[in-house]
Amino acid sequence: MKTSATKSGLYDPALEKSSCGVGFITRKDSTRSHDVLVHAHRALCEVPHRGGMSAEGVGDGAGVSIDLSPDYFRTLTGNADLQTGEFGVGNFFLPNDPSFHAEAEAVIEKAFADHGLRTILVRDVPVDDTALRPVAIKDQLLIRQWVFTGAEAGSFDRRIHEALLAIEAIAYAESTLTGLYPLSLSAHTQVLKGRLNSNEVVPYFRDLTDPSHAVHTLYFHTRFSTNTDPHPTMAQPFRLMAHNGELNTDKKNRLSEGALARARNREIVRPPGQSDSCRLDQTLQSRIVDDELDLVTAVVSMMPPAWENDTSLSAEVRAMLEYFSLYEEKNDGPAALIFGDGTVVGARLDRLGLRPLRSVET
């Protein structure tokens, strides 16, 4: 099936916007439990109205991001030595043409080898087609999963990020690899998503219903495509965030980021037909890896409050926000953001505040 958006008639993927549903479930004590997945399914069953679907009932897209469970992957790999932060998981959509799957796998393996990552397991993420309407099965894409460790000393997260960039640079440039797309590549989290309705996500991915699979945090997204083309690569979450709304400053943000990249003698490789949400996620990852900001600082700097005339803010907070304004273009929506990196999870509104978020602690 087609997995990338292309300009056609009045449709332009550069203008892609959507109205969606987002949320997260977490244990504040960071204790991993399968109950998190159970509660997440209940939450996802409450928000199908926030997502769109075709006349046949095929979802516009939905998915989850979860922290990596060492116990679960020890069982899968047979490696009892796996420790949190010392192994990683990469989930990939493969090329549209199955005859190029081997080429895609070679690209991934070479990037791993070049950056000191050692593969210990490759598998297809198991799914349950009975969780879907029969007409929706053909619209789903296989997710191939790599589990790996760091074969060399040095920053594991940095090498994973550089391997990701190396894969993207080839995947988005080679026509034979069209459809090769990293959903996530991380030592902390993994993303599972597809052309799904929100209530189908947990039952569809068998890993999420396995009673032995325990996590401490899950955040989710269900997509409502507004006059746009639903396809799996546009489903969310992305690697660090899930976004509800739109970014009306997206073009300005892209120009600013391009100028910054050129000043650093770098090139930004964008996925074909990338949405405003995907661009925001890509920028967020750059702020963390390249600028060495923590996740919360990066989010606040990219999506600051309307602070200039707010007299309730302390001098220290005003100074911080003024400093951010010197180098970061504001990302204005209206937009609501859920973000997480496997350690921290949070929510953020842009300064317009027009996408209300609510939280409940039990």
Measured distance CA(57)–CA(53) in Å, rounded: 5
Measured distance CA(253)–CA(234) in Å, rounded: 19
Task: For tokens 């602070």, name the residue.
Answer: 307
Q: Is 13 helix (H, G, I), strand (E, B) or coil?
A: helix
Strand duo 189-194 + 62-67: pairing: antiparallel
20 noted as active-site residue: yes
Q: From start to end of the chain, where are the E strands?
A: 21-26, 62-67, 87-93, 117-124, 143-150, 181-186, 189-194, 217-222, 241-245, 335-340, 345-349
Measured distance CA(332)–CA(348) in Å, rounded: 12
- Note whether 304 and 324 are within 8 A (CB): yes
Q: Is 167 helix (H, G, I), strand (E, B) or coil?
A: helix
From the list 5, 20, 40, 76, the catalytic residue is: 20
Measured distance CA(36)–CA(124) in Å, rounded: 24
Q: Which residues are catalytic?
A: 20
